Amino acid sequence: MTALERVASARRALGAAVGVRAALWASAAAVVFLAGFGIVDWTVGAPRAARILALPFAIALALAAACYALWRGRRVRSLAAVALWLEERVPRLRYALVTALDAPHASPLLERDIAAVKWTPVIRRALGHALLPPLLVLAVAAALLFALPAGIRARISAPHAGDTLLRAAGAPAALRNRLTPLVAEVVPPAYTGGRRVTVDEPSSIDALAGSHLVLRGQGSASGIAAALNNATVAPTLLRDSADQWRLDIVVPALPAALELRDRSYARTVIVAPHPDSIPVVTLTAPAHDSVMRTPKGAFTLTATATDDYGLDASWFEYIVSSGEGETFTFKSGVVRRVSAGNARTASLTAALNLESLQLKPGDLMHVRAVARDRNNVTGPGVGVSETRTIRIPRASEYDSIAIEGAPPPGVDSSQISQRMLIMLAEKLQARRAKLARADVVKESQRIGSDEARLRQKIGTIVFARLGGAQQGEDAGSNDASGHRTPEQLLAAANAATQASAGTTDFEGDETPVVAVNRPLLEAYNAMWDASRSLEVGEPGAALPPMRAALEAIQRARNAERLYLRGKAPVVIVDVSKVRLAGKRDDAKSSTRLPRATLDSSSERRAERFDVAIDLLASNPAAAIDSLLALRVDALSSAPTLAGALAPAIDALRAGRDATDALVRARRIAAGGTLARMESAWGSAW
Amino acid sequence: MGKRLVTRTPTTFTFATAQYESGDWDSAPLVPPNIIDTIARYTEIAVTPAGVIVSLASPDLLRYPLVYLTGHLPVRFSDAERRQLREFLDRGGMLFVDDHNHDVDGVFHKTATEEITRTIGEPKMLPNTHPLYSAFFKFDEGPPTTSHELNGWGDNLVHKNLFAVMREARIAVLYSSKDYSSEWGYHPDSKRFQSVDNTKFAVNIVVYALTA
């Protein structure tokens, strides 16, 4: 074996020693820390937050120690450093080892001298010096750690709620207060699927009504008594479990104070239950009550249901009431009952066959959705939706009056258009000299076609009136005009207007119908003349008959215009009111009023609060108990005060500053925030 | 004896509706209270809470600075009416005439303009820059349009101007074909349902009549 190979072998041995020493120091550091922390927890007790951090901190400490040890032994990586380390501890080498490592070629003389030197004992001693100290420290620390009670080690290795009981009490058993420490465990009913919750040192326990509540403490159950709302708890519920006592009760439906007594020691725990809400059911279709004229086909029903813990089933219910007077019959049924499968939300859809219900006019059908939760402890809770009513109307209910706005009468609209056509014709006539003949004819014919359209409209009005009048008023005559065609009517109208030879007036023995229609007939004929002139491109010639038509239409409008009006109301304007300058006899400015007097129960609560605060200086425990008792009462009657008392009690129990919480609770006990006093003016708006 | 001081207290403005022998002078009974409401709402003019009806032939006509005349049917003044109206206008009164037909071919327009012409003179187009349109509110585009114009009723025309008979640079007769009688003919309590108060122009007419 050459010198180089021997140095390499030494380096491997020393390297391994460095690694082992780092591991030993790391373990020793962690165990020393845990042992020390365990002693502290054993003697004074460490909070759970600190215990949760203990193990990660020990691991970090171990890593740091390992890193430091490795850093200290970093030179073992170099052969030259190992050779120098050997030269330092084996003087016989006289730097031959370093020289041999530095020489480019191996010298037989040097190799021989080096081979003659044995350094194994040196390395063995070095290993012993390196490993023995951390090994001893680790052994001592481990011995200390394992000498601690098993509960202390469990509190450090796996801290959790309720491990307060794992820490052995310091006082002798005869003098020990078995009510401290106290651990509460709430096991919710199985149907909720909820997890059990453990609380250390509880002052108030919020739990679902019907939950299983277990209270545990150190020591035997012998001599411990419990009372729930001043009613003694059966002794059988208090029993020993290993080296602990435990009390098993069911969370009641109403808030209660659980008083525990151990000789002269007493402790009050508030049990604040919250109920399992019934399902909330919303019927989404039909959305409103309705009237159904023909009860046929399928009637769609949809609903949604929600529950705080889980639904069991949901369905629709209907009731049909039939009959009238004093005789009514009812029939009811269930539609589509489905299992909700413990879901918290469910949608329900069904179709109700109306024909199968044989609904008759006058029947009323009531529909609602129902859902049931899985509460098998205090329930089940059944929630129902709003009820919708579907009515089948009787035949006699169909009488109604429909009033719709009528369009403007045809005469008015045609008159408007005639005015526009006159304006167009006048413009065309004015531009006629500047336009080509073909353009004039084209534009004139376009106006003429509009004029013809208007004429037909007038004709429709006139003929409808003539026909209607004859049918309505002359039905008994021998005149066959009711069977005339429009052309025949036109001819008759033409003859009538020609025969009048001039402007028609309404005098004489004409019937009102003829009097009304005669101007329109005149307009109709004038529009014929105008159309003919417009068709041949003579707007100038068309204008006189167009104006005559407009004038005739205007006469017809005036003849028909009626001004019907009821008696107008006499309106007296309240000028002061309009100007917002009026005055009200009952108006007054805002005034500051004293706080409303507390009712008797609130007053009693405020007094009890004050008494408890007075006790706080002389007997804090009694003050806390008084506040606890006050909170029990307030849970049902004054939940806001109960909520404000909770942090105050917790702070007092933990020895923290409870001033802010107590001030807030005092303010609420004294009546809370002042309500704003509305003035008469404010209330008026 | 020293000179006796005569103090005049401000008189209260009373809205008067003209009653004439012919036609339907009372066709817009809700216009007076609506204008009174508007005057109270926007001005501090002391206003009588209810309007009065005054005969054109009555000497009481002289007690009112502004008289409102409207109707649908033909207007024919009697000699007494014509005489009293002429005196009213000569003494500084102002007559506001509105065609309730909104129809330049209607009988009211034709007969009323004839009577006005015969009584005091022919109404002439009033420029839209006249002080009437800035007497209180600003109407830069002249008289506000009415829904009856825009809806195409009556003569289907949107009248851009009012007409007036002037007396020494003041309006003696203000003539409107815009049918404000229909536009303003609703109960004043219903004004709160309108997004824009359409009676503001009435304030200008009243203020002009009281100040011009």
Nearest to A645 by CA among A670, A671, A663: A663
Confidence at residue A408, expressed as pLDDT on a 0 to 100 scale = 47
Please check whether residue A18 is in contact with residue A73, taking contact to mean a CB–CB distance below 8 angstroms. yes
Number of other CB atoms surrounding residue B136 within 10 Å: 21
Highest mean pLDDT out of A234-243, A463-472, A550-559, A627-636: A627-636
Indicate whether B87 pLDDT > 90.
Answer: yes
DSSP tag of A235: G
- Is pLDDT at A384 greater than 60 in this prediction? yes
Q: How far is A416 from chain B (nearest CA, A)?
A: 7
Average pLDDT of the segment spanning A301-306: 92
CB A181 within 8 A of CB A218: yes
Chain B positions touching A421 (Cβ under 8 A) are: none
For the stretch A577-611, what's the b/e string if a residue is b when 16 or more beta carbons lie within 10 angstroms of its beta carbon? Answer: ebeeeeeeeeeeeeeeeeeeeeeeebeebbebbee
Task: Using a pLDDT cut of 90, give the percent of chain B over it.
Answer: 72
Residues of chain A in contact with residue B72, where contact means CB-CB under 8 angstroms, are: 561, 563
Give the pLDDT confidence score for residue B3 in this predicted structure. 42
Task: Tell me the average pLDDT across A493-497.
Answer: 54
pLDDT at B67 over 90: yes
Task: Grade residue A243 by pLDDT with cuts at 50, 70 and 90.
Answer: confident
pLDDT at A228: 86
B chain contacts of residue A579, beta-carbon cutoff 8 Å:
40-41
Nearest-by-CA chain B residue for A565: B27
What is the residue-wise DSSP string for A339-353?
E-TT-SEEEEEEEEE
Point out the residue among B27, B30, B72 whose CB comes nearest to the CB of A571.
B30
- In this predicted structure, the answer to whether residue A638 has a pLDDT above a threshold of 80 is yes
pTM given for the model? 0.45
Q: Is the pLDDT of residue A192 over 50?
A: yes
Minimal-distance CA residue of chain A relative to B44: A579
- b/e code A298-311 from CB counts within 10 Å (16+ = b): ebebbbbbbbbbbb
A395: Cβ contacts below 8 Å, ≥ 6 apart: A361
Tell me which of A272 and A507 has the higher pLDDT.
A272
Give the pLDDT score at B152: 67
Contact between chains at A571 and B50 (C-beta distance less than 8 A): yes
- β-pairing, B16-19 with A388-391? unpaired
In this structure, the dihedral spanned by the alpha carbons of residues A674, A680, A681 and A684, taken in order and rounded to 10 degrees, is: 100
Enumerate residues 6+ apart whose C-beta is below 8 A from A35: A141, A142, A144, A145, A148
Mapped onto helix, strand or coil, the DSSP state of residue A485 is: coil
Task: For residues A187-214, give the mean pLDDT.
Answer: 87
Which pLDDT score, from 0 to 100, does residue B13 have?
94
Chain B residues contacting A, CB < 8 Å?
24, 26-27, 29-30, 33, 36-37, 40-41, 47, 49-50, 72-73, 105-107, 152-153, 155-156, 187-188
Residue A680's pLDDT is 44
Contact B24 A563 (CB under 8 A): yes
The token pair that represents A396 in the structure block: 């006699």
CB contacts < 8 A, A to B, total: 51
Confidence of residue A396 (pLDDT cuts 50, 70, 90): low
Percent of chain A topping pLDDT 70: 82
Please report which confidence band the pLDDT of residue A357 belongs to, taking 50, 70 and 90 as the band edges.
confident
Residue of B nearest to A572 (CA): B50
E strands of A180-242, at which residues? 182-187, 197-200, 204-208, 212-218, 224-228, 231-232, 238-241
- Count of CB atoms within 10 A of residue A474's CB? 14
Q: What are phi and psi of B193, to 5 degrees?
A: -85, -5
Whether A403 has a pLDDT exceeding 70, the answer reads: no
Q: Pick the residue with more confidence: A503 or A495?
A: A495
- Segment A618-626 mean pLDDT: 87
Gap from B116 CA to chain A (nearest CA, Å):
22
A121-156 pLDDT, tens digit each? 888 998 899 899 999 999 999 999 999 888 888 888
User: Do β-strands A265-274 and A204-208 pair in parallel, antiparallel, or remain unpaired?
Assistant: parallel
| Euclidean distance between CA atoms A484 and A467, whole angstroms | 9
Where would I find the beta strands (DSSP E) of chain B?
16-19, 52-55, 66-71, 94-99, 124-126, 162-167, 170-176
- pLDDT band at B184, cuts 50/70/90? very high
Helix (H) / strand (E) element for A337: namely strand A327-339
Per-residue pLDDT tens for A333-350?
A: 888 888 888 888 989 998
The closest of A370, A385, A210, A380 to A310, measured between CA atoms, is: A380
pLDDT of A490 higher than 70: no
Candidate ranges A215-219, A673-677, B6-10; pick with highest mean pLDDT: A215-219
Q: Which of A562, A565, A571 to mutate to test the interface with B (most CBs of B within 10 A)?
A: A571
Residue A366 has a CB neighbour count (10 Å cut-off) of: 16
Closest CA to A325 of A362, A276, A351, A377: A362
The CA-based dihedral angle spanning residues B10, B13, B14, B17, taken in that order and rounded to the nearest 10 degrees: 140
- Judge whether residue A89 has pLDDT over 70: yes
List of chain A residues whose C-beta atoms are within 8 Å of the C-beta of residue B29 = 568-569
- Looking at the DSSP bridge assignments, the partners of residue A390 are A290, A365
- Give the C-alpha separation, A434 to A511, whole Å: 50
pLDDT at A629 over 90: no
pLDDT of amino acid A411? 52
Residue B47 DSSP one-character state: B
Q: What local confidence, expressed as pLDDT, does residue A113 receive?
A: 82
In this prediction, residues A178-185 reach a mean pLDDT of 88
Tell me whether residues A573 and B155 touch, CB distance under 8 A.
Answer: no
Closest CB from B37, B72, B152 relative to A578: B37
- pLDDT value at A120 more than 80: yes
* pLDDT confidence tier of residue B97, bands split at 50, 70 and 90: very high
**Of A68-77, A205-214, A267-276, B118-127, where does the model show the most confidence?**
B118-127
Partners of A575 on chain B (C-beta within 8 Å) are 36, 40, 47, 49
Q: Would you call B36 and A575 a contact, using CB atoms and an 8 Å cutoff?
A: yes
How far is it, in rounded angstroms, from Cα B120 to Cα B99?
A: 18
- Over residues A663-685, the pLDDT tens digits come to 889 888 887 654 444 444 444 33
- Which amino acid, A239? R
CB under 8 Å to A679, separation ≥6 — which residues? A587, A588, A589, A590, A591
Average pLDDT over residues A362-372: 89
What contacts A8, CB < 8 A, 6 or more positions away? A79
> Tokens 């009657």, residue?
A637
Task: Work out the number of other CB atoms within 10 angstroms of the CB of residue B148.
Answer: 18
Residue of A nearest to B31 (CA): A571
Average pLDDT along chain A:
81
Question: What pLDDT does residue B127 have?
Answer: 96
User: Does the pLDDT value for residue A279 go beyond 80?
Assistant: yes
Q: Residue A204: CA atoms inside 13 Å, Cβ hemisphere, count?
A: 26
- How many Å is the maximal CA-CA distance in chain A? 166
Region of poorest pLDDT, from A22-26, B68-72, B172-176, B186-190: B186-190
Yes or no, beta carbons of A578 and B107 under 8 Å apart: no
Of A638, A448, A468, nearest to A545 by C-alpha is: A448
pLDDT of residue A505: 44
